Structure 1
Amino acid sequence: MNAAQSVDVVIVGAGFAGLKAAHDLVSQGHSVVVLEGRDRVGGRVFTGEVAGVKVDLGGTWVSHRHTAIREVAEQVGATLVPQFTTGRSVLSVGGKQSTYTGTIPKISPLALVNMGRIQLALDKLAKTIDVDAPWNSPRAAELDAISLEEWLGRKGARATTRALLTIVTKVEWGCRPSQVSLLHVLRTIRAFGGFDFMLDAEGGMQESRYVETTQGIAIRYAELLGDRVRTSAPVRRITQDGDGVTVSTDADQISAKYVIVTTSTEHRGGIEFEPSLSEPAQGLIKSWGLGALSKAFVAYDKPFWRANGLSGESATDTATVFATFDVSPSADGPGILMAFCDPIVFDAHAPEVRKDQVVKQLTDLFGPEAAQPIDYIDQRWNEDTFASGGPNPVVAPYASTRYGSVMAEPHGRIHWAGTETAGEWTGSMNGAVLSGQRAAADVAQLLAATETHGRKKAFS
């Protein structure tokens, strides 16, 4: 083990939360080290390549309301492009396939009324949620005691409504409606600015993406920090006493005044804490596990679906793929479809089988031209060592009211960040940046108080 180093703050994790916290602290003159277990920066944003085009294997989109992540991107000179939405989208539900424009598919009048009624009820309930502390919201215990699936049953949701909301839960939390608490769903809807905004591409959460990819932004942002960022340095143990903190990796021991941990809630469990975390904090780790979500990208010579009047967007309740988007660089090609895939029927198969599954389903959705791809790549997030699963935690009934309040509660000199700890925009890259900003401000205030106290003591 190398000789011990001493800094003001150690930051665990080099995703957007950790990098933002580091930048803010460095800008105020504090010394920091960022420790990342992976051999790369970015966390749950990751770049792949298909047909010579860089694509987002993880977090992808930003909205015009996502000012925090957009400021980071502007700082490193990233190029924003609108998500392609021109044309009709494809819906395949209950064995019937149709096309539509806008956010809500063209379904039968009865199904449309039912879906509208359920959406209105969700939005109405979401407005009652305290986004920073949903467990303190009116009726929190009642809303947290049932799953979204159970609530849909009570509200008389029809089969089409259930199918569409299953697609939503797969994308947002990597789970089925039966696995997630109604309170957690409502908190996300409130945090994202409403049900429509959460689902919309044009003007909504899926409004724009970056040419350089989101990990490309993280890489440039990390480069500004220089050798303060260390990859392939998984944190194994954090010990603390009244004087400071010691952070141990396989190769180093670093002393600090404070630590900011930005890992997902579940993966806090991979670190040994001394003294141990409280029982509620340990319950949080066990009950706020990440969902499961996989992605595939299929490339063609050109985005042929555009010539057929299609946007490349689709939603389906069958087989492997449950949603697609057009992420082609231009109309001239290559044409690239991003497909969200259900890990339950996808992850265990060999690469060629996974590819065949996806291509067959895209052919069903977009026609015979989809059967002739020129390239393919996929990402199974369940295989990720440091954040296995989906983009966000699957918070089952009772877990929010029992454990949520300790999410960002400091453990002595250890502070927490990461998108899960954000209020507004929790679960998004914007939320990650805001959480890093908040944790850095809290720690900077403590450092300033310590320095002031030290100066007073020196002259006393």
Structure 2
Amino acid sequence: MKIGSEILSSLKISSSDRVNKAEFCCSPRTILSVPVVGAGLSGLTAARDLINAGKSVVVLEARDRVGGRVLNAHLANGGITELGAEFVGPTQDRVLNMISTLGLKTYDTYNVGNDVLWHNNTRGTYFAGASGIPPLDVPSLLQAAAVEEALDSMAATIDVSAPWTHPSALDWDGMTFGYWLNSTISLSPARFLLDLFSTSVFSAESEELSFLYVLSYIASAGNETLVGTVERLINTQDAAQAQRVEGGTQLIAIKLAESLGLENIKFNAQVRSITKTSDGYDIGGNYPVSAKQVVVAMSPPLASRIEYYPILPASRDQLTQRMPMGSIGKAIAIYETPFWRSQNLTGQALSDDGIVRATFDNSPSDASFGALMGFIEADEMRQFDAQSEDAVKAAVLQDYVKYFGPEANNITEFVLQRWDNEQFSRGGPVAYGPPTLLTRFGPALKQPVGGIHFAGTETAPYWTGYMDGAIRSGERVAQEILETN
């Protein structure tokens, strides 16, 4: 798989640069203003702002590429497809600005025609339009709409920077989203829609999520002038799935990395320890450095796998012990053409059954080949985490045939990404909050510990879990450091 090869050739460190933990004490160390741990969008953004302010910075990345959970796959037909984050939309101001600044272009997600609904073992099609409402019975649709309105109303009262300060925070954080749905929804088709919202947005079952966390996440789907809504999270038109990036979203990270100067990024540079010294921090790992301050731009559960000396405050450690990653995979079937378009289908399907329960048309803007992308999420992903790729492929294609007909079997290539099995991700799209996490430990999510500063999309007030949130977190943490120096 070719991933930013022009960068990798310049940035990969040789095996001679690697040291084990025992050798760290005697290894030469680079002295810096700020090392940044992680070359995802949050880490690269923090590095950009710090370098622009005159700081000496190196980005230490455990993988052999940039992007984190943003990843392009290069196909046998010469095209690309995205294995990680891929959509952008209105109010995602930071990522849209970065795309423009880096000279990249966006195009509309294919959304022409009818969507597919597979429900109660029956296939139907419907025109979703801007509303995205599937053809269920009227009482169920009315109940689902009332629930969505209630969620939006409660979310609008939340301080996105400190949801744990809400007057109802203890009550909301003490129950799961599933418990609230049980007490609110009586009709199973309406419940199907809300459970699909849970798995599609969080890659977690509704019983796993704190109700406060869900409300704060909805609230984050906006910006400083527009409040977040459920609709903005789940819809395609004028919502979070509205557009894609020409050439794939990993180009954002690749172009941003190039703008930093290639000498400022080190690959295969896993950080294993961060040790407080009399005048700063020693960073132990494959590329040892010393610095006054450190940025850890990683998801909370992965950041906890670094050894800290002295240990971090209990509140931070307790938070990271309780904040798991969602379970997610993406399965992309490649075809000679996007055949579903001739059937007046968007390539989008919703389902209450199978391994894939939400799909999108992932074809390029010129439709030079067809690509159907399916999300594998939550319990379905866990069921297939340990199975062979052939078993996953067979299950996925069985679903695609149900949704789009027998032509869905005629693939030219099949690409699978199981983020649960990625060593330096262990899931996605975001680390989520189970019950009581936010009210007990929420402030520790982005609170610096001495000179250690925490970034990552989980810490963003707006578009938590998205590329925009990752960029916002990088900007915040860089500003924290610059304000103290």
In the superposition, the TM-score normalised over structure 2's length comes to 0.90
Cα distance in 1 for residues equivalent to 2:442 and 2:466: 18
The one of 230, 235, 242 equivalent to 1:195 is: 230
Determine whether 1:420 maps to 2:446.
no
Identify the residue that residue 254 of structure 2 maps to in structure 1.
Answer: 219
Give yes or no for the alignment of 1:24 onto 2:49. yes
Q: Distance in 2 between matches of 1:155 and 1:107?
A: 18
Distance 1:360 1:52, change over 3 A: farther
Contact kept, 8 Å, 1:127 with 1:190, in 2: the verdict is yes
**Deviation of 1:75 (Å):** 2.6
Deviation at 1:260, TM superposition (A): 0.7
Where 1:30 maps in the other structure, the secondary structure is coil
- SS of match in other structure, 1:41: coil
Output the CA distance in 2 between the equivalents of 1:34 and 1:157. Answer: 51
| Correspondence for 2:403 | 365
In the alignment, is the contact (CA less than 8 A) between 1:7 and 1:32 conserved in 2?
yes
Is 1:166 the equivalent of 2:195? yes
**1:8 aligns with one of 10, 33, 36:** 33
Partner of 1:185: 214
Asked whether the equivalents of residues 246 and 365 of structure 2 are also in contact (C-alpha less than 8 Å), the reply is no
Could you tell me how far 1:331 is from its partner in structure 2?
6.2
1:331–1:416 distance in 2 versus 1, CA, 3 Å: closer
- CA drift at 1:253: 2.3
How many residue pairs match? The answer is 446
Matched, 1:400 2:438: yes
Is 2:98 aligned against 1:61? Answer: no
- CA 1:330/1:257 → structure 2, altered by over 3 Å: closer, same or farther? closer
Whole-angstrom distance in 1 between the partners of 2:315 and 2:186: 35
> What residue number does 2:224 align with?
none
SS of structure 1 residue aligned to 2:304: helix
Give the share of equivalent positions with the same residue, in percent: 35
Residue aligning to 1:247: 283
**Residues 1:296 and 2:331 aligned together:** yes
What is the alpha-carbon distance in structure 2 between the residues aligned to residue 433 and residue 120 of structure 1? 29
Q: Distance in 2 between matches of 1:158 and 1:37?
A: 47
Structure 1 CA distance for aligned equivalents of residues 382 and 423 of structure 2: 18
Alignment of 1:431-446 (within 5 A): 431-446=469-484
Q: Deviations over 1:165-204 (max 9, x none)?
A: 2222222221110110111111111101201111111110
Cα distance between partner residues in 2 of 1:115 and 1:96: 20
Determine if contact 2:144/2:194 at 8 Å carries over to the other structure.
no
Q: 3-state SS of the aligned residue for 2:33?
A: strand
* Secondary structure of 1:393's aligned partner: coil
Matched, 1:306 2:346: no
> Against the structure 1 CA distance between its residues 237 and 208, is the aligned structure 2 distance closer, same or farther, given a 3 Å change threshold?
same
Q: Which residue of 2 aligns with 1:456?
A: none
Written as runs of structure 1 = structure 2, the 5 A alignment for 1:94-173 is 94-102=120-128, 103-173=132-202
Residue type of the partner of 1:108? D
1:77 matched residue in structure 2 = 103
Q: In 1, distance between residues paired with 2:465 and 2:331?
A: 21
8 Å contact from structure 1 (residues 11, 262) kept in 2: yes
Task: Give the aligned residue type for 1:235.
Answer: V
**Counterpart position of 1:457:** none
- SS of 2:387's partner is coil
Return the offset for 1:121: 1.1
Question: 2:303 aligns to what?
Answer: 268
C-alpha distance after superposition, 1:88-147 (max 9, x if no partner): 101112223222222111110111111111111111111111111111112000000111
**C-alpha separation in 2, matches of 1:73 and 1:272:** 35
Work out which of the residue numbers 60, 72, 91 in structure 1 matches 2:117.
Answer: 91
SS in 2 for 1:270: coil
Residues 322 and 340 in structure 1, CA contact (< 8 A), matched pair in contact too: yes
Contact between 1:260 and 1:416, CA under 8 Å: does it hold in 2? yes
Question: Do the aligned partners of 2:273 and 2:308 also contact (CA within 8 Å) in 1?
Answer: yes
Secondary structure in 2 matching 1:400:
helix
Task: Give the TM-score of the pair, scaled to structure 1.
Answer: 0.94
- Quick one: distance in 1 between partners of 2:301 and 2:383? 24
CA–CA distance in 1 between the matches of 2:167 and 2:190? 26
| Residue 270 of structure 2 is aligned to residue 234 of structure 1 | yes
- Which residue matches 1:384? 422
CA distance in 2, matches of 1:393, 1:427: 8
Root-mean-square deviation over aligned CA pairs: 1.3
